[in-house]
Amino acid sequence: MNLIKNPILRGFNPDPSIIRVGEDYYIATSTFEWFPGVQIHHSRDLVNWELVAHPLRRTTQLDMLGNPDSCGVWAPCLSYYEGTFYLVYSNVRSFDGIWKDTPNFLVTTQDILGDWSDPIFLSSSGFDGSLFHDDDGRKWFTSMWCDHRKGKFFGGTLLQEYDPVQQKVVGKAVQIFPGSELGITEAPHIYKRNGYYYLITAEGGTEYGHAVSLARSKKIEGPYELHPSNPVISVREDPSAPLQKCGHADLVETPNGEWYAVFLVGRPLTQRGRCVLGRETAIEQVEWREDNWLYLKQGVAVPRLEVPAPAGVELQPAAAFPARTTFNDSSLDRHFQSLRVPVEGSWLSLTDRPGYLRLYGRESLSSFHRQSLVARRVQHFQAEVSACLDFQPTHFQEMAGLVAYYNTSHWVYLHLSGGEDANHRYLQLIYCDNFDMQEKLAEPVLIPKSGEVYLRFTFDYGALEASYALEENQWMPVGPVLDGTILADDYVRGTDRYRPAFTGTFVGMCCQDLSGHRKAADFKWYEYVEK
């Protein structure tokens, strides 16, 4: 028997939405402030997954300039109907205070790997928008409802019809589900089966109280009755389970009639501790029973690390991401993303110096606007991430290097800069914990004024160590072993449960020129090795 090993999408890949078209499965996940927006992974066996697309690639589709940390693209909903793919997503513009700015949009395409349409605005009443295609051809938009009155915030689930001819929602939006006693009701999806409309929601918050709730009704507008054993997926009562934070689910049926649920999870380093890899995507078998309710097939609501794959399916391994990325192609590998704005020739070039990725220095690591930074996710508890840098700074405001990044206030930066000594460059290590920027070297390491420098971060569960080399593989440690768990949602969010902190650890190549003169840095290669 073939087994699916959880998580199926490792590292920062939360809020999964799954569909099947013929023999092909696709999962869309949230990207928040990272551009291009929405990750789409593909599989033909539910075991092996490959990143194949980012549908939101133009600023006409996704304008995130100035978006705060952990805002941007929330909870995409992927669906398919009569030859067209539909993608609903939120572009959260602000989340502080009692009011939230959460516009929801719809884009479409006939080719999931190709270009998607310009967006259609749907509603800003809440986030986690979803589109349901009824069997009579009508389409329904649902979302959670932001209700700021009396500090409530989560106001249940809203339903409104979408008119594809007028390309807008029509009629009155109505609340169809107030939520269960678990509260914090979000991420609604509707399904129809055996005469019932089923409403699946995420409840309990996206931390250790997270859960998948299920309700049903004979009418789409309700009233909805709650599952007799709600929640249907949750580990809120089992702190020892290896997969925690289970919630935000979606359902898919295989060609031979088996059912699976995908949902987000976290893997803490200690019991209900910090999840340094962020929120990931896992899968479980589910089944419909004679009472017309859905249950985990194994009989309990706690997901497993290994799940039986669909019966009779031949495994089809996905293409492996190469350990070392060189920059000889005309486009950047899709595993790399930028912050808030698209990669453009004005700040990143693969041709100005052939064989190198050139970054023109722009704004600081604290900027919500125009950073020159490209990065990929950390997806393993033990990993080495390194890069080869050629950079000749002449001023302390000119910096370039390797950054382990969570958001604008939590990062670790190993970089070169200039200084008073014209015969040397300065290698420095800065540790930023909630904007407290600590220089971790008593004195900068002096590096000859020319020549390539190798930079590396080594992740060992919660420990993070920096090193450098002047000859490849001749590594020397830089500074102390650091606490890498400051790059986890759990730490960043702290005691404020509503503070946005929903992403994960990235390691990026970046360049700053705080003088505004656009000093350039060249990277020869970038390497990610699972240990």
- Asked if residues 456 and 375 have their Cβ atoms less than 8 Å apart, the reply is no
Catalytic residue list contains 15: yes
Write the CATH number for 458. Answer: 2.60.120.200
Token pair of 254 as six digits: 């295989």
- Alpha-carbon distances of 339 from 161, 409, 448, 502, 529, rounded to whole Å: 34, 14, 31, 15, 23
Domain extent for 210: 17-231
Let me know if residue 256 belongs to a domain.
no
Domain stops at, among 180, 211, 231: 231
Model pLDDT, residue 500: 83
- Asked if residues 432 and 410 have their Cβ atoms less than 8 Å apart, the reply is yes
Residues 371 and 495 in one domain: yes
Task: Compute the distance between CA of residue 472 and CA of residue 480 in angstroms, rounded to an integer.
Answer: 22
Domain stops at, among 207, 231, 255: 231
Let me know if residue 389 belongs to a domain.
yes
User: Which has more confidence, 117 or 151?
Assistant: 117
Range in 34-48, 137-151, 239-253, 460-474 the model is least confident about: 137-151
* Mean confidence (pLDDT) of the chain: 96
Let me know if residue 306 belongs to a domain.
no
pLDDT digits (tens, 9 = 90+) for 224-275: 999 999 999 999 999 999 999 999 999 999 999 999 999 999 999 999 999 9
- Asked if residues 440 and 448 have their Cβ atoms less than 8 Å apart, the reply is no
Reply yes or no on whether the pLDDT at 198 is more than 50: yes
Let me know if residue 520 belongs to a domain.
yes
φ/ψ (deg, to 5) at 133 = -105, 110
**Number of structural domains found in the chain:** 2
Domain stops at, among 186, 215, 231: 231
Burial level of 225, CB count in 10 A (0-12/13-18/19+)?
exposed
pLDDT digits (tens, 9 = 90+) for 21-80: 999 999 999 999 999 999 999 999 999 999 999 999 999 999 999 999 999 999 999 999
Among candidate residues 45, 69, 128, 186, the one labeled active-site is 186
- Alpha-carbon distances of 248 from 209, 233, 458, 518, rounded to whole Å: 12, 10, 32, 42
Among candidate residues 15, 203, 390, 513, the one labeled active-site is 15
Residues 33 and 140 in one domain: yes
Write the CATH number for 202. Answer: 2.115.10.20
Model pLDDT, residue 495: 46
